[in-house]
Amino acid sequence: MELFITAFTIGLVGSLHCIGMCGPIALALPLGNKSAVTKIVNGLIYNLGRIFTYSFFGLFFGFFGERIALASTQQHLSIVIGSLFILSVLVPKKITNKLEVSGWVGSFVNQIKQRLAKLIRSSNWSSKFLVGILNGLLPCGLVYAAIGGSISTSSPFAGALFMASFGFGTLPMMFSVYFFANMVSITLRNNIKKLIPVFLIVLGCLFILRGLNLGIPYLSPKIDVARPFIQDCD
């Protein structure tokens, strides 16, 4: 349960980053002067599309984590994931931006953006769900961090739930863009966004502690590695 709370918290704290990345897409949906109920329904459909993609990522990477789920390996994996969280903050943004726009990754992203541009013009509900699905495929450091957590669950089902919890954590702020977009100043948004790297570093440290097997309840629980029984022939 604590892992899912962590996932929800990642989404909730990082959702101001989502406003910068996904907010423009959400605002581009043709809701215009629609009623509040219509905005909520359409916004929910769009966001459920995002969460569907995130859950699929969790299913896939949870399965990957399950393949390496021996207790000792899982501890090492937790340390690696925690280190990646910290590196995601420390690596210069120029390098990550180059990775996103280079080679087949850049081509894939451009194809998604072109498809999004066509779907956004449509007013039917299925298009909004597809917009959410494609939006979830766009490169996002926060999503990568959450995927790291889904790997640590070592279960496809738990991984999917982890990513779904992360997605639901972003909902409050994503819904706010439809009603309060003009009420949150850019200065306030930028100030809060500065806290996200700090949060990711703290989260990374917690994952590293979890993998160190220190015997601290909840924070770094002791995991005994099962050893094979060898019968004495004497």
Per the domain annotation, does 233 fall within a domain? no
Nearest to 207 by CA among 90, 63, 86: 86
pLDDT per residue over 153-190, tens digit each?
A: 888 999 999 999 999 999 988 887 766 665 556 666 67
H/E run at residue 151: helix 141-152
Assigned domain for 219 exists: no
Residue 217 lies in a domain: no
Residue 23 domain-assigned?
yes
pLDDT confidence of residue 230: 45
In a domain? residue 223 = no
Number of domains the chain contains: 1
The residue segments making up the domain with residue 175 are 2-211
220 strand-pairing partners:
216
Evaluate if pTM is beyond 0.85: no
Q: Do residues 210 and 81 make contact, with C-beta atoms less than 8 angstroms apart? A: no
- Identify the residue whose tokens are 């998604």: 112
Domain-embedded: residue 33: yes
Give pLDDT tens digits for 198-232.
877 888 888 888 878 777 766 666 665 544 444 45
The secondary structure of 62-89, three-state, reads HHHHHHCCCHHHHHHHHHHHHHHHHHHH
Task: Please give the backbone phi and psi of residue 215, each rounded to the nearest 5 degrees, phi first.
Answer: 80, 20
Distance CA 55, CA 160 (A): 4
